[in-house]
Amino acid sequence: MSLKQKVGMGVVTATLGLSLTFGGVFAYFSDSETSSNSFQAGTLDLSINPSVIVDVKDLKPGDFIEKNFTLENKGSLDIAKVALETSYEVTDAKKNNDGEDLGDHIIVKFLVNDGKPSNPNDDHEILWETKLSELKTMKPEDVATSLERHNLIDGIKSGETDYLHVLFSFEDNEQDQNKFQGDSLQLNWTFHAEQTPGAEK
């Protein structure tokens, strides 16, 4: 990041099925007694709503759920990009998964983002889809690049809001998936906000 002077980073963690945990605002203050100048860094403050993205029980293969949530830049600095980090834990209720990952059967579909809240009656255009397990292995910055490339999230100006529309589906692979009965998956999405490149003031 040779062009970036990072003065702050906002981090928000949305936990599927659980409560929200989020990082606060970071600010840097510097005072030069020699010239009596003072410098105050701006802040990045990324807010997410809702805090619980998905809380669904009794899913069966073929089921899906749409979830729309809002990313709001409450800081004083523009956000250049939003990187998404994925982690999850699977609880194997019957201890019979034999090493198979339930995340391989959860498909994440990112829907078209027109900058407005999604209407449930809208026809859904899928811009990018991937397995949850694959999303987990991607670096957050690579996910940010994919989100930008598909015009899903391309930065958020100070005081403005963007939206992310997602479909989660339990893939029906037309094979025996009985081993997953009673299992649960706790998904954590962490959104990392980065400032725009530094500029002369």
Residue 27 counted as domain residue: yes
Residue 14 counted as domain residue: yes
Distance CA 183, CA 176 (A): 15
Q: Select from 87, 54, 18, 48 the least CA-distant residue to 167.
A: 54
Residue 175 counted as domain residue: yes
Residue 201 counted as domain residue: no
Residue 5 counted as domain residue: no
Tell me the backbone φ, ψ of residue 173, rounded to 5 degrees.
-90, 10
Q: pLDDT averaged over the chain?
A: 73
Q: Identify the pLDDT of residue 24.
A: 36
Residue 87 scores a pLDDT above 80: yes
Q: Identify the pLDDT of residue 147.
A: 80
Residue 135 scores a pLDDT above 90: yes
Q: Identify the pLDDT of residue 54.
A: 61
Instruction: Say how many domains are in the chain.
Output: 1
Q: Identify the pLDDT of residue 138.
A: 93
Residue 200 counted as domain residue: no
Whether the Cβ atoms of residue 85 and residue 11 lie closer than 8 Å to each other: no
Confidence of residue 33 (pLDDT cuts 50, 70, 90): very low
- 4: amino acid identity, one letter: K
What is the domain range of residue 188? 10-195
Residue 110 counted as domain residue: yes
Residue 3 counted as domain residue: no
Whether the Cβ atoms of residue 64 and residue 124 lie closer than 8 Å to each other: no
